[in-house]
């Protein structure tokens, strides 16, 4: 039976004003259920700002503050599921679940109801998060990647979370005489270097060579304070994949406006990998592409995979 329980946020690391890593522990004497890398859990916070969905005449959906008769914003509980970025072994050893979370913003400027509340957390004074005692999901390596020689993971933004969990768990398993001969390649794109969550840890796992793992981090909006080369490349994840596979970029294929093409960040691979090396890890008949994150980019990644005869699995829940 699934139960609603109360946990506490014991750790928060802000990567930017809208991106953070949280750790959640259960109440004293309790424990989280066992899980597999790639799964998710439902979280809940009380006293969230409520919104109402409005469908416009053109069919577009917008979210606006839900006001009471006095013009005040209604507040109430909100539940939402989040992928776990912690690895199962971390939870077993340390007792926490970890989350890589963005403050969602609707087009109207209204923040996401639960994510706004999570970003108001204070590990000292306001740290309660309710959760449901069931960790679920089918986006796990044994379900979506079994039998493939090459597993290509593509995470955009916080869509990295399930892949961070998978890679950390694979590395842990490899230290106990695992005979995994699969080639794992991880593309992760975020706007800037400071928000490339888990970058240091993933780069270290790549250097250790405990597993056959290549890490391809890129930034889509490089600025003056971002690295100009080295271990971090440039470009949106779907276009980096297109570049590796010899396809025109999405905006070029769609014949976008001159202004869009002018602002386009052309793919540049990190200096430690080459296009030829990555192609060698993507033989279509032996490769599955796993993707999580921005729906528009996932749709394009699915298209690219289909063109090249590769299987593609998306995290959807």
- How far apart, in whole angstroms, are the C-alpha atoms of residue 209 and residue 199? 16
Report the pLDDT value the prediction gives residue 176, as an integer from 0 to 100.
75
Tokens matching residue 138: 């089918």
Mean pLDDT for the stretch of residues 242-258? 86
**pLDDT over 60 (residue 228):** no
Query: What pLDDT sits at residue 139?
Result: 98
Q: Using 50, 70 and 90 to split pLDDT, how confident is the model at 110?
A: low
Binning pLDDT at 50, 70 and 90, where does residue 111 land?
A: confident
Which domains, from first to last, does the chain contain? 4-136 (2.40.30.10), 141-314 (3.40.50.80)
For residue 172, what is the enclosing H or E element?
helix 161-174
pLDDT at 178 over 70: no
**What count of other Cβ atoms lies within 10 Å of the Cβ of residue 272?**
15
Q: What is the mean pLDDT of the chain?
A: 90
Q: How far apart are CA 142 and CA 135, in angstroms?
A: 16
Read off the pLDDT of residues 67-101 as tens digits, 9 standing for 90 and up: 878 888 888 899 999 999 999 999 999 999 999 99
Q: Look up residue 71 and give its DSSP letter.
A: S
From CA 217, how far away is CA 237, in angstroms rounded? Answer: 9
Write out pLDDT tens, residues 133-168: 999 999 999 999 999 999 999 999 999 999 999 999
């Amino acid at each position: 039976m699934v139960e609603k329980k109360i946990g506490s946020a014991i750790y928060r690391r802000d990567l930017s004003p809208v991106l953070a890593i949280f750790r959640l522990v259960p109440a004293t004497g309790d424990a989280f259920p066992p899980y597999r890398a790639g799964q998710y859990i439902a979280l809940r916070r009380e006293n969230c700002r409520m919104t109402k969905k409005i469908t416009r005449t053109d069919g577009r959906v917008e979210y606006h503050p839900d006001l009471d008769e006095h013009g005040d914003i209604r507040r109430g509980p909100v539940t939402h599921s989040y992928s776990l970025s912690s690895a199962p072994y971390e939870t077993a050893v340390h007792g926490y679940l970890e989350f890589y979370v963005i403050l969602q913003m609707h087009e109207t400027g209204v923040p996401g109801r639960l994510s706004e509340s999570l970003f108001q957390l204070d590990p000292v004074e306001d740290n309660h998060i309710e959760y449901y005692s069931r960790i679920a999901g089918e986006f796990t390596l044994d379900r979506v990647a079994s039998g493939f020689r090459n597993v290509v993971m593509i995470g955009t933004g916080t869509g990295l979370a399930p892949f961070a969990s998978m890679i950390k768990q694979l590395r842990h398993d490899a230290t106990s005489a695992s005979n995994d001969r699969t080639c794992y390649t991880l593309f992760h794109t975020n706007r800037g270097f400071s928000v490339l969550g888990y970058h240091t840890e993933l780069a270290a796992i790549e250097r250790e060579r405990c597993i056959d793992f290549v890490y391809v981090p890129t930034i889509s909006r490089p600025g003056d304070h971002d690295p100009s080369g080295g271990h971090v490349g440039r470009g949106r994840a779907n276009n980096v994949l297109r570049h590796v596979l010899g396809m025109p970029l999405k905006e070029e294929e769609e014949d976008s406006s001159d202004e869009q093409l002018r602002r386009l960040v052309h793919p540049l691979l990190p200096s430690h990998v080459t296009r030829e090396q990555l192609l060698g890890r993507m033989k279509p008949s032996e490769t599955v592409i796993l993707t999580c994150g921005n729906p528009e980019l996932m749709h394009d990644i699915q298209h690219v995979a289909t063109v090249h005869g590769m299987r593609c699995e998306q995290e959807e829940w």
